[in-house]
Structures are given as C-alpha cells and as structure tokens.
Structure 1
Amino acid sequence: MRWTLKPKPNPETVKQLQEALNVDQAIAKLLVQRGITNFEDAKTFFRPNLNQLHDPYLMKDMDKAVARIEAAIKAGENIMVYGDYDVDGTTSVALMSSYLKTKTPNIATYIPDRYDEGYGISYKGIDFAEDNGFTLIVALDCGIKAIDKIAYAEKKGIDFIICDHHRPGSQVPNAVAVLDPKQSDCNYPYKELCGCGVGFKLIQALAETSDETIQDLIPYLDLVATAIGADIVPITGENRVLAYFGLQVVNQNPRAGFKAIINQLKKETLTITDVVFTIAPRINAAGRMKHGQYAVDLLTQMDLDTAITYAAEIEEFNSDRRETDKIITVEALEQIKQNKEEDRLTSVVYQEDWHKGVIGIVASRLIETYYRPTLVFTKSGDKLAASARSVTGFDVYNALEACSEHIEQFGGHMYAAGLTLKEENYEAFKQAFEDQVSKTIDRQLLTPEIKIDSQLELGDITDKFWRIISQFAPFGPGNMSPVFMTENLKDTGYGKCVGEDDKHIRFTATQSGPEKFVCIGFNLGDRLHLIKNRQLFKAVYSVDENHWNGNVSLQLKIRDIKE
C-alpha cells in the first residue's frame, strides 16, 4: 500500500475555524481539508437541511418533462416507468412509479431482462409499450445514448422522458425532455446526482405543481439514499443532504420492502456503509440472478407480510449470487495464471458460460488480487458482453473510448462501464486495451493508495473527538471517513491472528501515554510479525465504535501496518 499524507491545510484558516467553532485543532484541520473554512460552511455541513436542495427547474428540460407528464395524467394516458436492472435503476422505478400512482392509476413498470434485452432501453420494451397502449415512457438511469431507440419509439407514437446521469455522447436522443445534469448545456448547479436523484428532482418539480412541499416527499428518500450509496456517487452537496435524510427514513420509518430486509439483518442503526453492503446487494441480486422486477415489487410493496415473502425470495437469489461469483473469481484468477498474464497492466478474461449477472462483481474481486483496470467477458447471445472496473485515479471510460473501433456499444463512468463486442474482435480489443492503458496510466496508480487525513497521537482520540467526527457522516466518495496515522505504537503483548485461516489481526495498542485502544485489522493477519515482541510500529486506521455484550467502546480499524 502507498501511504499518502494529505497536504496540511493553511494554519491561519485552521486557527480561525478552531476559534469560531470552539473545537480541537485536529477537528478544525479535518474540516478545512473538506473545504469547510468558516462558521456558515460548518453549519451547512453538520446540519444538513432540505432547504439546501436546488430548485429542480434549474435542470434543463424540467419544464417540458413536467408539462408532458401533467398532460398525460389529465388525458388518462398509460405511462410506463422504465429503468435499468441495477440498484439505481430499480430504486428509480420504485420511486417514480409509486409517486405517479398517487396521481393516476394508469402506471406500469418495466425492467429489461439482463440476458434477453441487455442494458438500457430496448426495442423489446418499446414494442411491449406499443402492444399495451402506452403513449409515454419515463426512462430512469438509462437512455442518454439511446438515439436509435427513441427514434424507433417516436415512429410508433410513443414519447420519452429521459432521466439519466451518465455521460452523454456528442448527440442526445430526440426525446420530449432529457434530464441529465451532465449535459454540457445544462446549468444545474450539482452535476453528481445518481439516476434516482434525477428522478427525485422530477417528482420534486411535479410536487410543486400540486402544492406539495419537500416534507411530503421525505418518505421516498430511503430509495434515493440507497441509490446514492450503491452507485458510488460523491456524497457531497445535494447528494449528502438526500443521503442524510434518506438514512433517517431507513432507520426510523422504512418502507415495507426495506423493513423486510432489515428484519433479516438484526442490526439496529444502519449507516450508508450498511446500506451499500447489506441492502444494495440484495436488491441487485434480483436483476443479477432472476429479474429486476422482483426488486421493484419488493420496494413498492405496501403490505409487510407480503414484503417479507418477497425479501426471503430475494435472499435466496443473493445466496446464489455469492456462490456463483466465488466460483467464477477462482476460474478467472486461474485463467490469468495459465495465460501468464500476472505482469500485464490490465486484466481481461473471458469464458462463455460465466454468469452475466455477476461479472461486474468478479471484476471488482480480481482487482483485490491484481490491482489494475479489469474487464470480465462472457457470451451474451451472438456477442460478448463485459463489465469493466478501474483503479482509483484511472478513467476506464476514456480508455474504452480509445478502443472503440473494436467495440459495438459501451457506456458508464470513470470507474465502471459495460460494453459489448463481436467475438472475433475479442483478442484485438484485449491487446488494444492493454496498449492504451500502458500508454496512459501513471504507474504508481497500480499500487493501492491509502490517503491519510492527518497524523494523530492516541491521546487525541477522546469521546468528544469521536462524537464530532461521527457527525461528518454519511461517508462516501468526496467525504470519506477520516483516516489517521500514528507512529511509535506498541502492542501490549497479546496481539494475535483471528478469524478463519487467521486472516485478521487483533491487538491492543499503546503509545507513550496511558491510552490503550483495541485494534482490529481485517485481512492483515500476515502483519502479525510487525507487532511482535513489543517492537515499535506505525499504523493507518479509522476510529470506530465497538458494540459488544451491551458495552460500547472506541476501537481502531487498522488499514495497514508498517515497521
């Protein structure tokens, strides 16, 4: 691991903030690093308020989208709510359909089949809309590149409203309205909304025309917070406000579908991390292993007993998903070894029978072993389909764009993308991708980096210090949980490996003062020798609460240890 200490903030700014807030210097430093330099900034940060949300009509085409939906409701038209099969897509569909059903009964949902139709808007979906008398489709978390599909729908007399957050191409579809803050001519002040976030802005605009307030929309924010966490968008600005209030809904008054999942987890208070690692994989498992409509049915279900039945079904899909991705990861690692590709700068693997629903997860798993841009391919109809994942700091979307002569179709973000290509182009693409990455990647990005907010003494870690930094939450990209480094640590002598195969390490750390902290380091069992015999070491960690047998104490979650 590369340890990178973030630059020290301006001492004068830190001093002024410290005095304005009456906090320790260590807290003031952390805040200034996050761009918080005065009392007002701090108030906005520590006390998120729904009034901080932007006017939805600042988004390009919002007036057109609202006018078309209102006209459809007035005329009694059938409206289809269409979304992708991942968490962002299914939460978006649940959000939009459940809101529109409060205005008109003529609402149906449509999630494309991952295997039969693939990602995004499909011809089959448009044909289904025509056959069933739908004249308006609201597409969420997809559609920004569906130029031909929207033209096809237009010929059939079907209008589209697109709510997307992916990067547009050089041309946008000729839809009634295209809501996407990443359009170069959209002046919406916050560009990092997820698909469900864009959908929420649309219902916020619709609510204004019905004399509803933002308070009336709070029950929908559990869906938005889940999408924000799962889609790994920055938890800054508007996303932070939406996630903050969404988590309150998850914990205090969740919809029946979430309650049914939470009942299985036996956890009292969920953080955004819990949502990402426990709720989101279960919602995702429906589209991965069976069909995304199962997730929408769960998330829109009003009756708790029915929701519990649905959640049990989805839990089975999730167990299957875990087993499948474990098997494929082993096979993919073996393929890299057999092909003697350990020293390449990319991992590109393919097997025709790999389950399309888990190749994205497998790509992320491969990065845990070979830290480099990764693509996992499988057969999909008469083409090959892949999920791409990247390493911090490297834009895989741009790398794929440079290889587009070998690709049929692709889309995505800086760190995650999907693509299809013809089987005969696979080897040429694989080499082109390796060449492109070799040409453009900074070699140090191939070693995982830990960004350290600041150096601390153990004596700095008090209950008050913890109370304040825990209020920095919700954490995520752009507002990560603070990471600290402390030198001259010693183990009290009882450090040991714990867990299956002694994978983890547990010890009690002291420094020069009386303070002692229990430390847990996941997957750091191989570092035990660095703390043996009371030798001095340094560690990088985050501070956390440990709940055990009714007792609550502070502990250090160790990220890495060095001599």
Structure 2
Amino acid sequence: MRWSLKPKPNEETVAHLAAKLGVGKPVASLLVQRGIETFEEAKKFFRPSLEDLHDPYLMKDMDRAVERIEKAIKNEENILVYGDYDVDGTTSVALMSSFLKGFSPYVATYIPDRYNEGYGVSYQGIDFAADNDVSLIIALDCGIKAVEKVVYAKEKGIEFIICDHHRPGAEIPAAAAILDPKREDCDYPYKELCGCGVGFKLIQALAARKGLETENLLPYLDLVATAIGADIVPITGENRILAYHGMHVINVAPRAGFKAILKQVKKERISITDVVFILAPRINAAGRMKHGQHAVNLLTEEDEDTAAQFAADIENYNSDRRDADRSITAEALAQIEDLKEQERHTTVVYQENWHKGVIGIVASRLTETYYRPTLVFTKSGEKLAASARSVKGFDVYDALEACKEHIEQFGGHKYAAGLTLFASEYENFKRKFENVVAETIDKKLLTPEVSIDAEINLKDITPKFYRILKQFAPFGPGNMSPVFTTCNLRDTGYGKCVGADESHLKCQVKQEGENPVFNVIGFGLGKKLEIIRKHKIFKAAYSIDENHYNGNISLQLRLKDIAE
C-alpha cells in the first residue's frame, strides 16, 4: 500500500481551536484538517442541526414539482411513485409514497424488475401506469436520462416529476419538473445528495407548503440515512445533518422493517458502517434475487409481525445472494488468473450465465483484490450488461463516456456505474476501455492508498480521546474515520495469525519507551506476521475502535497496514 500522510494543519489555528474547545491538540488538528477552525463550526459539526438544512426551494424546479403534486392531490389523480431496485431507489419510494399517502389514497408504487426491465425508467413501467389511469409518475433515483421514455409517457397522457442525483446527459427530459442538484442550471448549494436525499427535499418543500416543520419529517430520516450509507455519497454538509439525525431515529425509534432486521442479526445500536454491511445488503438482496418491491413492502410495513415475516423472506434472499456472490467471485478470479489480467490497467470479465443481481458486488471484490478499474459482464436478454467499479481517484464514468461509441446505454457515478452493450461490441469495448484507462490514469492510483490523518504516540490514545473521536461520526466519504500512524512499535510476544484460513494478524503492541499496551487486529494482514516477529521494530497505520469481549470493553487498534 502507498502511505500518504496528510499535511500538518497550521499550528496556530490548531492551538487556538484546542483552547476554545478544551480538547487536546490531536483532536483539534483532526478538526482543522476537516475545515473546522472556529467554535461555531465545531458546534455545527458535533451537533448537526435540522435548522441548517438548505431551503428546498433553492433547488431548480422545486416550485413546479410542488405545484404539480398539489394539483394531483386536489384533483384526485392517480400518482405512481417509481424508483430503482437498489437501496437508494427503494428507500426513496418508501419515503415518498408513505408521505404522500398521508394526503391522498391514490398513491401506488412501482419498482422495475432488474431482469425484465433493467435499470431506471422502463416502457413496461409507463405501460403499467397507463393501464391503471395514472397521470403523474414521480421517478426517484432515476430518470435524468429517460428522454425518449418521458416523451412516450406524455403521448399516453402521463407527466413525470424526476428526482435524481446522477449526472445528466447532453439533453434532459421534458418533464413537469426535474430535481437534480447536478443539473448545470441548478444553483442548489449542496450537490452531493443521494436519490433519497433529493426525495426528502421534495417532501420538505411539500411539508413547508402545508405549514409543517422539518422536525415533523424526522421519522423519514432513517430511510435517508440508510440511502446515504449504501450509496457511498459524501457525509459532509447536508448529508451529514441528514445521516446524523437518521441514525438517531434508527437507534431510538426504528421503523418496523428495520427493527425486524436488527432483531434477526441481534443488534440493538448500529453505526453507519452497520447500515452499509447489515441493512443495505438485505434491502438490496430483494432486488438482486427476487424483486425490489419486497424491499418497499418491508420498509413501509407498520405491523411488526408482518414486518418480521417480510424480514425473514429477505434474509433468505440475502443468503441466496451470498452463495451466488461467492461462486461467481471464485469463477471471475479464476478467469483473471487464466488471462493474467493483473498486468493490465483494467479488469474486464464476462460469463453469460452469471447472476445479474450480484455482478456489482463481484466487481467490488475484484477491485479490492487487483485494484484496477473493473467491469463484470453477464448476458441480459439480447445484450450484455455490466457493473463498473473504480479505484480511488479515477473517474470510471468519464472513462465509459470516452467509450460510448461501443455502448448502448450507461449511467452512474465517478466510482460506480452500469452499462449495456451488444455482444458484437464486447471485444471492441474491452480494448477501448483498456486504452482509455491506460492513457488517462495516474499509475500510482493502481496501488491502494492508506491516507493517514496524523502521527501520534500510543500514550495519546486515552478513553477521553476516543470518546471525542466517536463524535466525529457518522463516517463516510469526506469524513472518514481517522487513521493514525505510530512508529517504534514492538509486539509483546503474542503475535499470531488467526481466522479459519489464518489470514488475519493479531498481536499486542507497545511503543519504545512508553507504557500503554494495546491489542491489535489486522484483517487480511496475516501474511505480514514476519514483520513483527522476534520483537522487531515496526510502524503501523491504524484506526481506533472498541473490542467487546466477555462483557469487557477495551480500546484496540484496527490495522490498515504495517511496515518495517
């Protein structure tokens, strides 16, 4: 791994902030690195307030969206809330539909089938709306590129409101309203909302029109926080406020669906990391293995017994997803070994019978293993479909844009995207994608980086220090859990490999000349045992967390990497 130490912030600024807040310099330094230099900024960071959310009417077309929905409610029109089949899409549909049902009984939901319809707005979905006398579709987490489909809907007397956060194409659809902070003509102050976040801004605007306070919308923030965690959007600005309050809702008053999942996994309090690794995979599993509507049903169910049954069904889908994920990843890794792909700048694999629902997960695993921009293809009807994942610092969406003459359809973000193409274009695309990446990527990005916030001594790690660090949460892009480095470490003699395949490293360390001793765990670092053997001195890059064992709680170091 590449170790990169962030520049030291201005010492005077750090000292001033430390004095103002009554904290040590290591904490003040972390805050200044995050752009927090005053008492007021620190207060907003540690105590995010709903009052600091932006006025939703600052978003382009918000007034038009609200007026169109109010007209639909007044005229008793049938409204179809339409969203993608992933976590962001299903939470968005659950949020919007449950809010609107408080004002109209004429609200239905629709999630496209991943296999028969594919990503985003579909002609089948529009036909379903037409067959059911729907005159307004509210599309969430999709729609920004549905130019022809919006025209098709208009011919059937159906209008669209689009709430999206993906990058628009050259042309935007002729919808009644398009809410997307990434529109070039939108001056909304915060650009990094997820799809459910955009949906929340719309219900915030509707609520304001009805004289409701933002506090009345707190019960919806568990859905927004889940989407923020699952969609890996920056946890800065407005997202931090929404995630902070949403996590509180999940932990204090979870909706029946979340309560049922947490009961199954025997968890009472969770962090946003648990959202990513516990809640999100289960919600996603419905759309991957069966149908995304099952996730919406779980998220909108109010009866606890029914929710428990839905959660049990989804647990089965998740188990099937894990099995498919395991077998496809093994096949993909074998394919890469056969082709010696690791000498290339990209990883592109294809098997026509791979399960379309898990290729995104497999792409992530291959990226972790070989650390290359990665595409995993499978057959989908008459075409091939792929999920793309990237490495830190490289924009895979831009790379796909440069290959668009070989692509039928694509969309997504900097680090994750999806596309379809005809089988006849696969080899041409693969060659072009490799060439584009080879020509544009900074070669150092092909080695994983551990970004270190600060160098500290073990004696700096006190219970008070950790208590304050915990208040930096929720963590995510733009506000990652702090990573530290400490030099002159020795294993006290307990170092060993652990785990079923002995792939993890466990040891106990102390620093030369210092007293504190800390337990250490390094997942996937078993092969580095030799570095710490025979009391050799080494340095470590790590984050700090709590180890719960036999009712005892102690601080431990979670290794990112070690080096001599």
5 Å-filtered alignment, 1:104-503, equals: 104-503=104-503
5 Å-filtered alignment, 1:14-53, equals: 14-53=14-53
SS of aligned partner of 1:317: helix
- Could you tell me how far apart the structure 1 residues matched to 2:497 and 2:394 are? 35
- Could you tell me how far apart the structure 1 residues matched to 2:97 and 2:342 are? 47
- Could you tell me how far apart the structure 2 residues matched to 1:387 and 1:497 are? 34
Measure how far apart 1:268 and its partner are.
2.4
Measure how far apart 1:516 and its partner are.
0.6
Partner of 2:534: 533
SS of aligned partner of 1:479: coil
SS of aligned partner of 1:500: coil
- Could you tell me how far apart the structure 1 residues matched to 2:82 and 2:273 are? 28
Aligned residue type for 2:31: L
Q: Which moved more, 1:77-86 or 1:17-26?
A: 17-26
Please state if 1:4 is matched with 2:4.
yes
Partner of 1:515: 516
SS of aligned partner of 1:540: strand
- Could you tell me how far apart the structure 2 residues matched to 1:52 and 1:497 are? 48
SS of aligned partner of 1:501: coil
Deviation per CA, 1:451-478: give whole Å up to 9, x if none: 0000010000011111111100000000
Measure how far apart 1:15 and its partner are.
1.5
- Could you tell me how far apart the structure 1 residues matched to 2:207 and 2:131 are? 31
Partner of 1:561: 562
Deviation per CA, 1:196-232: give whole Å up to 9, x if none: 0000000000001111111110000000000000000
Deviation per CA, 1:430-459: give whole Å up to 9, x if none: 000000000000000000000000001000
- Could you tell me how far apart the structure 1 residues matched to 2:269 and 2:261 are? 13
Partner of 2:62: 62
SS of aligned partner of 2:182: coil
Partner of 2:79: 79
Aligned residue type for 1:387: S
Gaps of at least 5 residues in structure 2 are none
Please state if 1:90 is matched with 2:83.
no
SS of aligned partner of 2:306: helix
SS of aligned partner of 1:270: coil
- Could you tell me how far apart the structure 1 residues matched to 2:95 and 2:22 are? 42
Deviation per CA, 1:242-278: give whole Å up to 9, x if none: 0000000100100000000000111221000001100
Q: Which moved more, 1:131-140 or 1:20-29?
A: 20-29
SS of aligned partner of 2:375: strand
- Could you tell me how far apart the structure 1 residues matched to 2:342 and 2:213 are? 56
- Could you tell me how far apart the structure 2 residues matched to 1:456 and 1:100 are? 52
Measure how far apart 1:336 and its partner are.
1.5
Please state if 1:103 is matched with 2:103.
yes
Measure how far apart 1:185 and its partner are.
0.8
- Could you tell me how far apart the structure 2 residues matched to 1:144 and 1:561 are? 45
Measure how far apart 1:341 and its partner are.
2.0
- Could you tell me how far apart the structure 2 residues matched to 1:269 and 1:554 are? 18
Q: Which moved more, 1:470-479 or 1:526-535?
A: 526-535
- Could you tell me how far apart the structure 1 residues matched to 2:561 and 2:4 are? 12
- Could you tell me how far apart the structure 1 residues matched to 2:268 and 2:553 are? 14
Aligned residue type for 2:329: T
Partner of 2:543: 542
Aligned residue type for 2:357: G
Aligned residue type for 1:130: A
SS of aligned partner of 2:278: helix
- Could you tell me how far apart the structure 2 residues matched to 1:264 and 1:534 are? 43
Measure how far apart 1:35 and its partner are.
0.3
Deviation per CA, 1:485-524: give whole Å up to 9, x if none: 0000011111111111111111111012110111111111
Percent of aligned pairs sharing the same letter: 69
Measure how far apart 1:545 and its partner are.
1.0
SS of aligned partner of 1:85: coil
Deviation per CA, 1:296-339: give whole Å up to 9, x if none: 00000010000000000000100110110111111111111222
Deviation per CA, 1:417-442: give whole Å up to 9, x if none: 00000100000000000000000000
SS of aligned partner of 1:487: strand
Measure how far apart 1:181 and its partner are.
0.4
Deviation per CA, 1:130-165: give whole Å up to 9, x if none: 001100000000000000000100111101000000
- Could you tell me how far apart the structure 2 residues matched to 1:341 and 1:187 are? 43
- Could you tell me how far apart the structure 2 residues matched to 1:266 and 1:529 are? 37
- Could you tell me how far apart the structure 1 residues matched to 2:441 and 2:274 are? 33
Measure how far apart 1:33 and its partner are.
0.3
- Could you tell me how far apart the structure 2 residues matched to 1:551 and 1:338 are? 48
Measure how far apart 1:383 and its partner are.
0.5
Q: Which moved more, 1:12-21 or 1:166-175?
A: 12-21
- Could you tell me how far apart the structure 2 residues matched to 1:140 and 1:54 are? 20
Measure how far apart 1:10 and its partner are.
1.2
Measure how far apart 1:552 and its partner are.
1.2
Aligned residue type for 2:552: N
Aligned residue type for 1:132: N
Measure how far apart 1:535 and its partner are.
1.0
SS of aligned partner of 1:342: helix
Q: Which moved more, 1:6-15 or 1:142-151?
A: 6-15
SS of aligned partner of 1:420: strand
- The number of residues matched between the two structures is 563
Deviation per CA, 1:363-416: give whole Å up to 9, x if none: 011112211000000001100000000000000000000000000110000000
- Could you tell me how far apart the structure 1 residues matched to 2:318 and 2:97 are? 25
- Could you tell me how far apart the structure 2 residues matched to 1:53 and 1:442 are? 37
Measure how far apart 1:12 and its partner are.
1.6
SS of aligned partner of 1:35: coil
TM-score between the two structures when normalised by the length of structure 2? 0.99
Deviation per CA, 1:50-106: give whole Å up to 9, x if none: 101010000000000000000000110000000000000000000000000000110
Deviation per CA, 1:512-540: give whole Å up to 9, x if none: 21101111111111111111111111000
What is the Cα-based RMSD across aligned positions, in Å?
Answer: 0.7
Aligned residue type for 2:286: A
